[in-house]
Structure formats: C-alpha cells, structure tokens
A and B are shown apart, each in its own frame.
Chain A
Amino acid sequence: MNDKPLIVDNVSLNFGSVVVFEKLSLAVERGEFVAVVGPSGCGKTTLLNLFSQFLKPATGSVISAAQVRMVYQHDSLFPWQTVSENIALGLRRLTEEKVRDRLLKEMLELIRLEGFANHYPHQLSGGMRQRVELGRALIGNSDILLLDEPFSSLDYLTRIRMRNELARMLIQLPRTVVLVTHDIEEAAQLADRIVVLSDRPARVCAEFRVALARPRELTHPEVVTTVHKILAELGLEHERGKVVALQ
C-alpha cells in the first residue's frame, strides 16, 4: 500500500508560451481530503488532469497509484442513458450480474435516488444529476476521487446540501479526494487540508488544515476562521488581527 497515492513532484508544464506550473510539488496522503483553491486560470483543473493522467508534465513526475475517478464541472452524464445505466458505467469491469445489481441498488440508496433508476438525466434537477455523477464515480473499487468544481453549477442552498451529501457518502465509502473549487466555504467545510495556489506559474502559497470530523457546520468557528485565513491569503480580506488593529 502506498501512503501517498497522489504525487506531483517538481512538475513543470506549459501550454505554448503560457507557463502553468514551474517545479510544482504536492502530495496527497491516502484517505486525505485535499481542496485546491486559487485565482481563476491558475491551473487548478490542469492539476487534476495531471493526477488523472489525462495530461503529461513537460518535466517532473506524476504518480497516481490507484484507480482514479473524476467528477466534472459540467453535465457529464450520458443523456441517452438512464440513471442506473450511467452509474453502472463505474461497474463495467464487474461481470457478475447479481453483484452488479446489488451494488447498483445500494448506490441508488446512498445517493437517495431509489425511485429514479429509470429516469434520464434531463428529467432530474441539477442537484440530483450531480448526485448521480458522484454515484458513478464512487461505485465499484475506485480509490481516488477527483472533483472538478462539482457543485459550481448549482444554486447556493443546493450547494450546501450537496456538501453534506458528499461528506455523508465519504463516511460510507472512504476515498482519497482532491477537490478543485472556487468556493472557499466549500473548501473549508469539506477538506482536511486546503492548498492555496498562486497565479501562474502556480505554486503552493499556503496550506491550511482543518482537523474537524465531517460533516461540518458551515458556521462552525473553525470553518469560519479557515475561510478568513484563505480569503486573507488570496488578498481578498484583511487578516482578523489587522482588521481589529485598524479599528
């Protein structure tokens, strides 16, 4: 067993003349939930694409030593397949029909869509669709879950609900998770470690740890403090101490 199933080591990558990463290093531990935040276009999604082996670095090495599943920003469910057919994609290697059916049924229960097995994605709400996406990525024997702004297209309340859903699912099906997000609250509410990336070429400019069990209250003091720290790091808010000093 590898203790750090996801590692980017000294990685450089550029798209033409745009340098995205220059000697970036980051390791994710087994079972850890890491959130990656940073300015728009700093290469957060590119980092996920490296982890999923979709992109190769120019120099440096990337290790993803386990079965990786990705949940995308936009609707990535196959609209021509039903909810259960979409989720069953995650079970393609499983040939035993009985086991497949059982796992599928359990997953539908976990994502609370038991009555929707034969519905098509366009017949579901945005939140339900995203639960199906999570179901597809979590079913079977995947080890690593890469989340690319999975809730960004949802409204605020649904987004908060989905964070709790994700936390609940991960208790039942623990995974190593990397979440890329613009939503600082989301990062603070969900992650064990929040990695703040700088502008391009991106480097890790800060890391914050939140040692609270999930699911967490959005208004828990430690979550709120972490949100403040991240915002301050991104230059979007004065640090608490400094605000007090100004008064």
Chain B
Amino acid sequence: MPGKTASNKERFLPLLVLIIALLIWTGIAVLRVFPDSVFPSPLDVAKGFIEELRTGRLLDDIVASLFRVTTGFGLAVLLGVPVGLWLGNHARARAAFLPLINFFRSLSPLAWIPFAILWFGIGDLPTVFLIFMAVFFPLVLATVAAVANIPSVYFRVARDYGFSDTEMLMKVTLPAIAPQVITSLRVTAGLAWLVVVAAEMIAGRAGLGFAIWDARNGLRMDLLVCGMIVIGVIGIILDRILLQLTKIPSVRWGYER
C-alpha cells in the first residue's frame, strides 16, 4: 500500500537526520575546527562511554539521578494533585492561595539551590527538594484548571443517578481531569529531568549532572558529551513511558476530540 510505504519512509527520516548530524560532528572533529581537547570526536565519546560502563560509574550515576527524580516527582504528584483537587473545589481557598502558587511557579527552582544546600547539605535530599519545587506548583495549577474545566452537567448527571460524594470524586472528577493531568505529568517530568542535572552539578556527589561537572573539572570532554547523550536519551525514554498513559482507553477522549 502506498500509505504504508510512506509511513515506513517517515520512520527512517529521524534515523537519517541522526546519521547526518553524526557526520557533521565527525567532520568538524576531523577538520580540527576546534582543538581536540575541547571538541571530542564521536569515536572518543564512544570509547569514553565504554570506559564509563566498565567502571560501573555511569550506571551508578543513572541510578542516582533516576532515584532523585522518581522520589521528588512522586512526592510532588502525591501532594500536588490532591492540593489541586481541593483548591479546584473551593473557590475561596483558590482565591487565597493561587497568587502564592503562581509566584512559586514563576520562580526558577534553581533559585532554591543555595537554601537547598544550607538546609539539606549535599547528596540526595537537596536534589529531591529542588525537583519537588519544580514539579509541585505547575502540577497544582494544572489540576486546579482541569477541575475548573469539568462541565457541570457531569455532576448533574451523577446527582441524577445517585452518586455518593466519594463516587463524585472517584468516578466523575478524577476521570474527567485525567487527560489534562496526564499531559501536565509529561511536561513536569521533563522539567524534573532538567532540574536534576542542574541541581546535581552544584549540590550532588553522584548522578549524571555531577558526572558532567566532574568531567568538566577533569577536562574529559569525551565523558562530558557521553553524559549529555545519556541525559537526552533518558529524557526521551521517560517521556515515552508517560506517553503510554495517554493510550489508556478511558482517557483517549481527552486527546481525540
């Protein structure tokens, strides 16, 4: 079928772009546009990658970063969604708290780095705290907006058919906000991944951000690029995992209509 060939071709396009990018990279390295010491070739990076894998350092760093992101993100979701639900349902509380939440949302979480180190030292805790600060506020706002957007007719219907308060929450509010909340989970997970790298550069003793900073200090640009590539790839994988949530049949309506 012509349509199928077209989609197969489309599948190869990103690979093609990747190959071209690698060729340009190699070209710049071979032509010595920049000195070797500040512009590693793809081969150098590949060698560095294998070295990092052999020593086990790369895996340790990945585990450290993922642990922090999962903890900080998880805590922010566990607290942010309920707070958003509560504010979404209480107009007065919303009016009272929304300006403050908007303020913290607009504040770069990296501005908290000095305090994070002073309060929590160096290691997992300050990074988890920073990720929490990055995710919590946008998630609360997204949940509030989603609750406010639920058509009131759904609650009328639920009342007509005798739903209890718990059922209103579990069977109307939550499924009604699910598509919007999932979208905002994808956005904030990306944000968390950006923040973990930055936070680890300053407040970490392990993790991918720390690895990059360490490579820079040791003038190992090959390891630095290796770290960058791993960070980018994991970021894509995280988003792909969360993308699966949008394929649940009962939330498809939020993306298809």
Chain A positions within 8 Å of B, measured between CB atoms, are: 52, 54, 68-70, 72, 74-76, 78-81, 89-90, 92-93, 120-123
With contacts A52-B160, A76-B151, A122-B253 known, what are 11 further pairs, Cβ within 8 A?
A54-B159, A70-B156, A72-B156, A75-B153, A76-B153, A76-B154, A76-B157, A78-B157, A89-B157, A92-B161, A93-B162
Task: Indicate if B252 sits at the interface (CB-CB under 8 A).
Answer: yes
Q: Is the CB of B160 within 8 A of A120?
A: no
Q: Is the CB of A78 within 8 A of B151?
A: no
Q: Is the CB of A78 within 8 A of B153?
A: no
Given A69-B160, A89-B161, A92-B162, are A80 and B153 also a contact pair (CB < 8 Å)? no
Task: Indicate if B175 sits at the interface (CB-CB under 8 A).
Answer: yes
In the assembled complex, the CB of B231 is this many whole angstroms from the nearest CB of chain A, namely 35
Q: Is the CB of B157 within 8 A of A121?
A: no
Task: Indicate if B172 sits at the interface (CB-CB under 8 A).
Answer: yes
Q: Is the CB of B156 within 8 A of A76?
A: yes
The 3 nearest A-B residue pairs measured at CB:
A79-B253, A80-B175, A122-B257
Q: What number of B residues sit within 8 Å (CB to CB) of A?
A: 21
Q: Is the CB of B257 within 8 A of A80?
A: no
Given A92-B162, A120-B252, A120-B253, are A78 and B156 also a contact pair (CB < 8 Å)? no
Count of CB-CB pairs between chains A and B under 8 Å: 50
Chain A's interface: helix, strand, loop or mixed, by majority? loop
In the assembled complex, the CB of A142 is this many whole angstroms from the nearest CB of chain B, namely 10
Expressed in whole angstroms, the Cα–Cα distance for A68 and B249 within the complex equals 31
Given A72-B153, A120-B249, A122-B253, are A80 and B160 also a contact pair (CB < 8 Å)? no
Q: Is the CB of B250 within 8 A of A81?
A: yes
Q: Is the CB of A80 within 8 A of B178?
A: yes
Expressed in whole angstroms, the Cα–Cα distance for A119 and B140 within the complex equals 32
Expressed in whole angstroms, the Cα–Cα distance for A52 and B161 within the complex equals 12
In the assembled complex, the CB of A166 is this many whole angstroms from the nearest CB of chain B, namely 19
A-B contact list, 11 entries, CB within 8 Å: A70-B156, A72-B156, A76-B156, A78-B154, A80-B251, A80-B253, A89-B161, A120-B250, A122-B252, A122-B253, A123-B256
Q: Is the CB of B153 within 8 A of A74?
A: yes
Task: Indicate if B116 sits at the interface (CB-CB under 8 A).
Answer: no
> Which of B160, B175, B249 is A70 in contact with, Cβ under 8 Å?
B160
